[in-house]
Structure 1
């Protein structure tokens, strides 16, 4: 495998990828930290009520606790808030990623870029397209449902087992960290897909009909991508990404059949 940095297409992608992934990471880090703080504040109130009662808490008793009901409501509200923010921020970022890489790729070809309403519609369709049976929005809300269940289980387990408040707070942090990692995986996967599809459209606009797969310069190169390195695809058949967190791409090639 050659050094991908030798390809101008890859250099354009790397610049945009780092810019957009880091911007989303900063934004999501902030909202996840705030959600964690709000949940832990309500969790502290629940523990204070339990200490004041002086009784051993059993599941049925916990469900009757007014503080626990408030904590459940807060967790649900925070989950919905996180999901809405993620969906909006990621959608806007992916659309911007697609348009930016298309523009810079076309400019490298020396072509003028005139963005039309039809182009905007096409870009939005591509951004919301399915990857392995679901689009990024579906995955965000699936992950939020999982996070809600993990947070509620964490609270119940901590209280019933008799963990200290500090131990319960650590469990909340662990759950939120796992939720953030799920969001980060979506971001990295979908930004790369938007980059590949944006460049794919630029290649099509310039008349190319075939592309060659380039595996990413990554120590974690998987067997799936390694097997495709150098493979020729019809331009509409090349996958946007092969798997979550994929960094592979493709470059345009002349249709060899035209010269036979």
Structure 2
């Protein structure tokens, strides 16, 4: 069935592949924010000209009556909605790919190792996988989080532009604040994609282990300079497959589970492990 070290190494390789898919989606999303900045910066320049022409101290009510403000507000709402929709679609594609690839590779590895793989688990169609990756596993689904983040970004941008214009800030300062607001949302998206990819990688891996009759799993943490104390404390722990903590245990977590396959043909040893860790 392969050594424990083999499965640890293989599991980390598979998780790294899933993280690579997440990275590709994050790079793709970065382009959305760059395009959004260019569009909104242009709107800010136009609005600022109108404010200067007004020539008097502004109140919020007066600012909101400007035609350029209305145009900026409409553009902001459109851009926010487009980014959110694009993020949801792109992340869904990524998670489906993570799930499909993980199950396919893991089941193949286990079968080649001699595990009695139940191939019916390998027959999940695209519709079923799509439903799985859209299921809320930590209070909210990824799409709900994108929607919430998009609303917050729109409100924050609108508030910052309003505050800075009525306080007489320059276009450069306003656009710098805009860049900061967009970056904040981008970093939230980065964290969300990586976290969701790790979760569905582990979900697919655990389903594959169950299909192969695996009853115990080992908690595997990537031991490097990025590891946190919490993950390091879990590393190496062995759990019954139905009693293992849901991963990830925190945002941006890279931890995963490796199958404990050496006990597959030794029911006595398996029973002792279950007693110890159950």
- 2:190 is aligned, of 184, 195, 199, to 184
Q: Secondary structure at the match of 2:23?
A: helix
Q: 1:135-170 CA deviation, whole Å, 9 max, x = no partner?
A: 111111111111011100110111011110011111
Distance across 1 between alignment mates of 2:190 and 2:250: 14
| RMSD of aligned residue pairs (Cα, Å) | 2.4
Q: Secondary structure at the match of 1:177?
A: helix
Deviation of 1:121 (Å): 4.4
Contact 1:126 1:197 in 2 (8 A): no
Counterpart of 2:38 in structure 1 is 37
Counterpart of 2:81 in structure 1 is 80
TM, length-normalised to structure 1: 0.90
Distance across 2 between alignment mates of 1:32 and 1:153: 18
Q: 1:190-212 CA deviation, whole Å, 9 max, x = no partner?
A: 11112111211211111112211
Alignment of 1:133-172 (within 5 A): 133-172=139-178
Distance across 2 between alignment mates of 1:213 and 1:40: 47
Alpha carbons of 1:12 and 1:244: their partners in 2 closer, same or farther (altered >3 Å)?
Answer: same
Deviation of 1:110 (Å): 3.6
Alpha carbons of 1:177 and 1:69: their partners in 2 closer, same or farther (altered >3 Å)?
Answer: same
Alpha carbons of 1:56 and 1:5: their partners in 2 closer, same or farther (altered >3 Å)?
Answer: farther
Q: Secondary structure at the match of 1:251?
A: strand
Q: Secondary structure at the match of 1:7?
A: helix
Q: Tell me, yes or no, if structure 1 residue 251 matches structure 2 residue 258.
A: yes
- Specify the structure having the higher radius of gyration (Cα): 2
Q: Which structure is richer in relative contact order (CA contacts within 8 A, separation 6 or more)?
A: 2
Counterpart of 1:11 in structure 2 is 13
Q: Which sections of structure 2, spanning at least 5 residues, go unmatched?
A: 272-278
Q: Which sections of structure 1, spanning at least 5 residues, go unmatched?
A: none
TM, length-normalised to structure 2: 0.85
- 2:136 is aligned, of 130, 133, 151, to 130
Deviation of 1:4 (Å): 9.6
The number of residues matched between the two structures is: 257
